[in-house]
Amino acid sequence: MGIETEYGVLAPGRPAANPMLLSSQVVTTYRALVARAGARPAARWDYDDEDPLADARGFHLPRAAAHPSQLTDDPSRPAPAGPLPAARVAGPGAGPADEPEDPSAANCILTNGARLYVDHAHPEYSSPEVTGPRDAVLWDVAGERVMLAASRELAALPGAAGHGVVLYKNNVDGKGASYGTHENYLVDRALPFGVLADLLTAFLVTRQVFSGSGRVGVGPTGDTPGFQMSQRADYIEAEVGLETTLRRPIVNTRDEPHADRTRWRRLHLILGDANLFEVATYLKLGTTSLVLWVLEHLDDLADAGVPARAALAALRLADPVADVQRVSRDLDLDSKLDLADGRTMTALEVQGAYADVVGQALLAIGPEPEADVETHRVLDRWRSLLARLDTAPESCAREVEWIAKRRLLEGLRRRDGLDWDHPRLHALDLQWSDVRPERSIYHRLLAAGAVERLVDERAVADAVHHPPTDTRAYFRGEVMARYADQVSAASWDSVIFDVRGAAALQRVPMLDPLRGTRAHIGQLLDDCADAAALLRGLRGGDTA
């Protein structure tokens, strides 16, 4: 699993600032920063294996029929963010979105296995692949520190005094635009996509009860006064679809696995919020992964006497798109959703039913708790949080971001007699997600001990520079740390070496995300002084 986060970008005092240029400056500044520290991250991303127009429903969208925002595989033509005016696509205060002169240069592959680049007029941090939700949290928070370092360095450049760039880990600019936090999950190709989408939808619609980051304003432009759970809810317009910046779907159908297509698909979800609360990120990815595991094992569960398919099919919603917004506005957590079979359930009840199916599946065919501690911790936390949300939601303020944000805003409203449309509330909502700790409301709560943490800063600092050890991200990150001057380009599923004296570039494929780990390749890397020796070692053994 992994997370891609587009950060909102703002240049205080410069409302006409070019968002593409600002984003490019963030990326290139960080690249220069790590280069001074001894690393030389590659500037070129390898787009050869990317195909954003392949649809998991079994067809390929013609390039001529695609919206320009879908053409993310052409580095010479950065994709716009969607149908909104260019002045709105990059976050608060953005100006015209003219292309920078060399957008393909605004890219680097980091030594922690992540990618930092410009996407849709935003600086985006795409985390390395990990195998569990706690690691997903760790390398996601590492991305926040990467963005902070880039903005600090940019503000300190000569001539930049008073003209810095501020970054926000949020999803709305308050003027009608939304930018994404996308989740990615490796899924068995044997699971039919239609079954996946059908049985996962109700879970995705309702999980915002614990994963929403909270938002001031209702509606795409936020003009209607109020508060809601999710920042992304008002921008979801379809059940399934290929688009990511318009007609945004609950389940995205992009069939771009970045792995062996015959074995896996990558489920690319775009409806989730950018979370600062670590428990929210942990549960968002952990619970989704558990439900996907159940879907991959429906036949095994049937053989074991667990009717998981029927139980999940019974949770189909009558109007899932409308329910995304309905759940987001249900701050009392008691609104009934219409199911396809005529029954009604609350979002908490739907989530509880999913958790029950997962629990039954683990008892029937899952690993023992001592064999897979994290899986059982996710299930226990999921059940505990649902129970407390049902009986005492305010007790969840250390774990659930929207509850903590609403409590803070309600306190300000009561103290100063403010209505929900007051500009101070909108400003506070924005300030919540500022990456600068001295300005961020979230970081003030964190410093006060009002937020539960799952990772510590020492581990985060290490994750900024080092990759996870149990996925192919280890190979990608270590190669960038050791041999960056001999790397021509890289992608999620390959590294291209440019070895001095070699007749041609040499590509090392990485189609299995669970190979290239430290256990698999670490000793060889330690034994090789340069990329030429590494390539000889890879050719000499079954390690590629």
How much is the pLDDT for 521?
96
Mean pLDDT of the chain: 90
Which of 518-541 are b and which e, b meaning 16 or more Cβ less than 10 Å from the residue's Cβ?
bebbeebbeebeebbebbebbeee
Average pLDDT, integer, range 61-65: 62
Rounded to 5 degrees, φ, ψ at 318 are -70, -35
DSSP class of 339:
B
Q: What is the pLDDT of residues 454-500, one digit of tens each?
A: 999 999 999 999 999 999 999 999 999 999 999 999 999 999 999 98
**pLDDT of 195 higher than 70:** yes
**pLDDT of 313 higher than 60:** yes
**pLDDT of 417 higher than 70:** yes
Average pLDDT, integer, range 43-63: 70
How much is the pLDDT for 543?
46
Average pLDDT, integer, range 33-56: 74
Average pLDDT, integer, range 509-530: 96
Contact 292, 1 (CB under 8 A): no
How much is the pLDDT for 416?
96
Average pLDDT, integer, range 361-384: 94
Structure tokens at 256: 């771009």
**pLDDT of 69 higher than 90:** no
Average pLDDT, integer, range 274-279: 98
Q: How far, in Å, are 107, 136, 332, 521 from residue 490 at the CA level?
A: 11, 21, 48, 18
The burial of 370, by beta-carbon neighbours within 10 Å (0-12 exposed, 13-18 middle, 19 or more buried), is given as exposed
Q: Is 119 a catalytic residue?
A: yes
pTM (2 decimals)? 0.91
Q: Please state, in angstroms and rounded to a whole number, the distance separating the CA atoms of residues 63 and 54.
A: 10
**pLDDT of 437 higher than 90:** yes
How much is the pLDDT for 245?
73
Residue 344 three-state SS = strand
Q: Using pLDDT thresholds of 50, 70 and 90, give the confidence band for residue 160.
A: low
Residues of the chain above pLDDT 70, percent = 88
Higher pLDDT, 164 or 413: 413
| Active-site choice (46, 73, 102, 119) | 119
Q: Pairing between strand 248-252 and 236-241? A: parallel
How much is the pLDDT for 246?
74
DSSP class of 178:
B
How much is the pLDDT for 82?
47
**pLDDT of 533 higher than 60:** yes
Average pLDDT, integer, range 422-429: 96
For residue 176, how many other CB atoms are within 10 A of its CB? 17
Q: Using pLDDT thresholds of 50, 70 and 90, give the confidence band for residue 68.
A: low
Map out the domains of the chain with their CATH numbers.
Answer: 2-393+454-458 (3.30.590), 472-540 (no CATH)
How much is the pLDDT for 371?
81
Average pLDDT, integer, range 155-182: 85
N residues, the chain: 544
Residues of the chain above pLDDT 90, percent = 76
Q: What is the pLDDT of residues 332-368, one digit of tens each?
A: 999 999 999 999 999 999 999 999 999 999 999 998 8
How much is the pLDDT for 98?
41
Q: Please state, in angstroms and rounded to a whole number, the distance separating the CA atoms of residues 467 and 115.
A: 12
Q: Please state, in angstroms and rounded to a whole number, the distance separating the CA atoms of residues 487 and 264.
A: 27
Q: What is the pLDDT of residues 328-341, one digit of tens each?
A: 999 999 999 999 99
Q: Please state, in angstroms and rounded to a whole number, the distance separating the CA atoms of residues 142 and 455.
A: 10
Average pLDDT, integer, range 209-232: 96
Which residue, among 465, 119, 73, 459, has the nearest Cα to 270 in the 3D structure? Answer: 119
For residue 447, how many other CB atoms are within 10 A of its CB? 11
Higher pLDDT, 215 or 62: 215
For residue 319, how many other CB atoms are within 10 A of its CB? 13
Q: What is the pLDDT of residues 78-110, one digit of tens each?
A: 554 444 433 333 444 443 334 444 444 588 999
Average pLDDT, integer, range 368-388: 94
Q: Please state, in angstroms and rounded to a whole number, the distance separating the CA atoms of residues 475 and 513.
A: 10
Least confident of 45-54, 133-142, 355-364, 397-406: 45-54
Structure tokens at 389: 């949300």
Which residues pair with residue 119 across a beta bridge? 122
Q: Using pLDDT thresholds of 50, 70 and 90, give the confidence band for residue 161.
A: very low
How much is the pLDDT for 71?
61
For residue 509, how many other CB atoms are within 10 A of its CB? 11
Q: What is the 3-state secondary structure (H, E, C) of 450-497?
A: CCCCCCCHHHHHHHHHCCCCCCCHHHHHHHHHHHHHHEEEEECCEEEE
How much is the pLDDT for 242?
79
DSSP class of 226:
E
